[in-house]
Amino acid sequence: AWTDFKQAANDSYRYTVTTSSWTGTRTTTVITIDKGKVVKRSYVASSTISSSYELIIHEQWEEAGATLNTHSNGSALLNLDQVYQKAKTEWLPKRAKATSYFETKNEGMISSCGYVEDNCADDCFVGITIANVEKL
């Protein structure tokens, strides 16, 4: 599915990486790829006040061109070829005392890949969650 999408999109697309914590904090990083190269990254960290459901933005920024990779938060500057390679070499190898996960809910493309060590209580997932992938 990934290679077909990559070809149809002329290797130009954006994907959204999300994280969430048991504390209610969540992040969204949108990575934009043009012809195989990362050209833009945007990031929002937020939480919701449980009593009023009010959304609180803690941090928000956008990088492009010379400002790429000038913030420490947010998902790494990877194209999806690099994400799949990282999945293969870092997140999916069998580990003692850990459970691995791999899902393809983005029209057959990677949506979640990583692992959780046994007996870990909170925020234990090591890997990536991709909410969507779309052509530019």
What pLDDT is attached to residue 89? 96
Q: What's the number of CA atoms in the CB half-sphere (13 Å) around residue 45?
A: 11
The string of DSSP codes covering 69-87 is T--SSSS-S--HHHHHHHI
What pLDDT is attached to residue 124? 93
Write out pLDDT tens, residues 16-70.
999 999 888 999 999 999 999 999 999 999 998 777 788 899 999 999 999 999 9
The residue ranking higher by pLDDT, 22 or 73, is 73
Q: Which two tokens stand for residue 10?
A: 């002329």
Query: In terms of Cα–Cα distance, which of 65, 102, 72 is closest to 87?
Result: 102
Q: What burial class does residue 20 get, using C-beta atoms within 10 Å of its C-beta: 0-12 exposed, 13-18 middle, 19+ buried?
A: middle
What pLDDT is attached to residue 61? 97
